[in-house]
Structure 1
Amino acid sequence: MITHGHFLHDAPTGLPDEISEVMLTGRDLRIERIVSHGQASPPGYWYDQEEDEWVMLLEGEATLRFEAGDALLRLTPGMHAHIPAHARHRVEWTAPGKDTIWLAVFYRNA
């Protein structure tokens, strides 16, 4: 079955909590749309994922923090990052008062 939509126009907006929607799954692959509206990772929480992640910011602004070297990465629309499996990271900040829309691709690196 063929499905279609518009990644930005069909996104929920102005939510009190961040939402992550699985758009497509396949063998060793998952594509998600993540919509943030001023949310950040809880204090002290670090993502430590089994999969590699490639993420692109499509709308809004965000800052990621990586545990290694306590590095910060500020993202604006069109910027992307590859996050290797087990690279501990967190969402430090997303723009308040507007939606931040992410395209996240999770995969297992052979």
Structure 2
Amino acid sequence: MNSNFFADLPALGGDEQFRELLARPGLRIERIVSSGQCSLPGFWYDQADGEWVVVLQGEAKLRFADEMEARHLRAGDILDIAPRRRHRIDWTPAGQHTVWLAVFYRP
């Protein structure tokens, strides 16, 4: 990968992009780029690892199964998702990039 985090962003409206930046035992770091994607109806992430995320550009609505309202995340917002805490992406805006830094870890 290019050494600039924002280099080589995918075309707007294309597929969501997941790019592994670093992997070590018990740790994985990814750059995720969304542009209008959201979780399929009824789908929930339910991961064995914890996930610490920060939105570096754009915005998104992330919903936890145990909360009534989605959280509206904007650039600079940080969230630590506990292992097995079911969550989904309700919305990312079409026509702009939402760029995430995701750190997956084993507690």
TM range (shorter): over 0.9
Q: CA RMSD in A?
A: 1.4
Question: Aligned residues: percent identity?
Answer: 47
- The TM-score, its normalising length taken from structure 2, stands at 0.93
- The TM-score, its normalising length taken from structure 1, stands at 0.91
Work out whether residues 13 and 95 of structure 2, in 8 Å CA contact, stay in contact via their aligned partners in 1.
Answer: no
How many residues in Structure 1 have an aligned counterpart in Structure 2?
A: 107
Q: How far, CA to CA, are the matches of 1:18 and 1:31 in structure 2? A: 16
Instruction: Report the Cα offset of residue 4 of structure 1.
Output: 6.0
Q: In the alignment, which residue of structure 2 is the partner of 1:90?
A: 88
Instruction: Report the Cα offset of residue 15 of structure 1.
Output: 4.5
- 3-state SS of 2:61 partner: strand
Q: In the alignment, which residue of structure 2 is the partner of 1:81?
A: 79
Instruction: Report the Cα offset of residue 71 of structure 1.
Output: 3.6
Q: Which structure 1 residue ranges, 5 or more long, are not aligned?
A: none
Instruction: Report the Cα offset of residue 27 of structure 1.
Output: 1.2
Work out whether residues 13 and 35 of structure 1, in 8 Å CA contact, stay in contact via their aligned partners in 2.
Answer: no
Q: In the alignment, which residue of structure 1 is the partner of 2:20?
A: 22
Q: How far, CA to CA, are the matches of 1:80 and 1:13 in structure 2? A: 25
Q: How far, CA to CA, are the matches of 1:78 and 1:51 in structure 2? A: 23
